[in-house]
A = this chain, B = another copy of it.
């Protein structure tokens, strides 16, 4: 795997204290970037191997990593609220989706979850992602382009006015009032399809869960995932003094037909 023009690279410079400073850059032939430790000639990386170490103009080592999905999602966070791997990994698994599935996402945001879902659904799968904000769709398009994912369709449209797709394997919602769309989501899901909702507050949990039960979803679960990062050196191992206290609650349910 060689470094190619047009893709992304994650450059890492370590501080004296051993903390990594990360730069996500597009690989372009005539590009030079400026850091606090000297300049880096991006063009010179083309054709080299991922995982090598180069140097800044000041001789400071720069590691060249092929960015993972999580590296990219982390950097998307600049403009909008990002989704953390603690949440997106859990969402991915609990949604029950698998390669080839067709899903709808309501609330594209920066396209971070879109990117993750599309990657794991694979070329046979499909993501239809709705957002009412032109800025979101624009940002998401840029982010998705960098990945050349052909299985995503972004839709600048209010999902409350209806979604076109039917017989879906799963629907993901990250919007302020997801309970209002749950009856429609129920109709659009295939039998035994799943909804996954991400909401920040306790009041929203209650509204989603009571609506979902009322409509006839089953196996409803509510989870909050916490990530404790640890630090370790020769002298000691301990949890980091600071942590993310809260991102959101994940609510899941499956469509079921009652007997009759």
A230-244 contacts to B, CB under 8 A, are 230-232, 234-244
Most buried by B among A90, A98, A241: A90
Complex Cα–Cα for A53 and B217 (A): 12
* Cβ distance A139 to chain B, nearest Cβ, rounded Å: 21
Q: Is the CB of A257 within 8 A of B51?
A: yes
Complex Cα–Cα for A148 and B85 (A): 29
Q: Is the CB of B239 within 8 A of A245?
A: yes
Q: Is the CB of A241 within 8 A of B230?
A: no
Q: Across the interface, which residues of B come within 8 angstroms of A116, CB to CB?
A: 93
Q: Is there a chain B Cβ closer than 8 Å to A209's Cβ?
A: yes
* Cβ distance A82 to chain B, nearest Cβ, rounded Å: 12
Q: Across the interface, which residues of B come within 8 angstroms of A202, CB to CB?
A: 202-203, 205-206, 236-238
Q: Is the CB of B238 within 8 A of A246?
A: yes
Complex Cα–Cα for A200 and B232 (A): 12
Q: Is there a chain B Cβ closer than 8 Å to A226's Cβ?
A: yes
A163-204 contacts to B, CB under 8 A, are 190-194, 200-204
Chain A residues bordering chain B, tally (CB within 8 A): 84
Q: Is the CB of B205 within 8 A of A53?
A: no
Each complex incorporates copies of this chain amounting to 4
* Cβ distance A1 to chain B, nearest Cβ, rounded Å: 7
Q: Is the CB of A209 within 8 A of B232?
A: yes
* Cβ distance A72 to chain B, nearest Cβ, rounded Å: 10
* Cβ distance A67 to chain B, nearest Cβ, rounded Å: 8
Q: Across the interface, which residues of B come within 8 angstroms of A206, CB to CB?
A: 202-203, 232, 237
Known: A92-B93, A205-B232. 20 other contacts (CB 8 A): A1-B192, A49-B192, A49-B257, A50-B191, A50-B192, A51-B254, A52-B259, A53-B257, A68-B94, A86-B223, A89-B90, A90-B227, A201-B236, A209-B237, A221-B229, A222-B237, A224-B228, A225-B228, A238-B246, A243-B243
What would 12 A/B residue contacts be, using CB atoms closer than 8 Å? A20-B218, A50-B192, A65-B219, A70-B93, A71-B96, A89-B93, A93-B116, A122-B122, A202-B203, A223-B227, A224-B230, A228-B246
